[in-house]
Chain A
């Protein structure tokens, strides 16, 4: 079965979607990511969709789901690199992906993830 590879970079997971997303692949990715976050106690997930030329409601929902599920597992998710045409189309379609954090590219996405992790750490520290 085809799967999208998940790379581990320390406390973060990196997913680069470069193939056509069909429904089964999306479902598998959701499961795989949840398992990975759990296994590695990851703090954050970066999903690079800069190669995706189309995001429909199914894929959009997958991104929203991954975002919510990771948060439950105490990890933040950032989706990076959405193409302008895709963004315009998603909005027209009626999806705003309100709960999903986004960034323009991998660097900014990582910076966002790290600052989010830092905030959590500081808050925890203050409680002690």
Chain B
């Protein structure tokens, strides 16, 4: 377990929550000393996953955790929802696959934009996605 030095929660229920979530992630990433490119990457990944949570997960929340592993600092974001869950994770992680009107790049894109990516989902129970970016 990597020690968390700061944590916060943010609800993801309506569209405007996505904008606020981006701001929060940007602020935390800046404070942790991430460069502009790394900041943009994690903010964009957060935007994709936050949208997914609202649109597909029927609302949920995002948790931010500032991590410290020795000299390395990191930002961890956890997206949880109690929505329908994802039946076929492998399929969902493919570029272009979407069950809605999106581009299908949300999950796969967020994965590419992060250093670490974990997804847990159970049909009928919900989904939990964890992404981490290290400095």
Q: A–B direct touch, CB within 8 Å, in complex?
A: yes
The reply to whether the CB of A55 lies closer than 8 angstroms to some CB of chain B is yes
The reply to whether the CB of A88 lies closer than 8 angstroms to some CB of chain B is yes
Which of B15, B39, B43, B102 contacts A22 (CB under 8 A)? B15
Contact B95 A54 (CB under 8 A): no
Return chain A residues, CB-CB under 8 Å to B40: 53-54, 85-86, 88-89
Return chain B residues, CB-CB under 8 Å to A11: none
How many Å from the CB of B37 to the closest CB on chain A? 5
Q: Interface residues of A: mostly helix, strand, loop or mixed?
A: helix
Whose C-beta in chain B lies nearest to the C-beta of A84? B37
Segment of B66-74, B76-84, B107-115, B124-132 in the binding face: B107-115
Tell me the number of A-to-B contacts counted with CB atoms below 8 Å. Answer: 67
Residues of A in contact, count (CB < 8 Å): 21
The reply to whether the CB of B106 lies closer than 8 angstroms to some CB of chain A is yes
Complex Cα spacing A24 to B18, Å: 12
Contact A56 B48 (CB under 8 A): yes
Contact A54 B18 (CB under 8 A): no
The reply to whether the CB of A20 lies closer than 8 angstroms to some CB of chain B is yes
How many Å from the CB of A88 to the closest CB on chain B? 6
Complex Cα spacing A56 to B42, Å: 11
Q: Which 9 A-B pairs have the closest CB atoms?
A: A93-B109, A85-B40, A56-B47, A57-B105, A85-B37, A89-B40, A20-B19, A85-B36, A57-B103
Which chain A residues have a beta carbon within 8 Å of chain B's beta carbons? 20, 22-24, 53-58, 60-61, 84-86, 88-89, 92-95
Instruction: Using A93-B112, A95-B105 as known contacts, list a sample of 17 further A-B pairs with CB atoms less than 8 Å apart, ordered by residue number in A.
Output: A22-B19, A54-B40, A54-B43, A54-B47, A57-B48, A57-B102, A58-B47, A58-B51, A84-B37, A85-B39, A88-B41, A89-B37, A93-B48, A94-B105, A94-B108, A94-B112, A95-B103
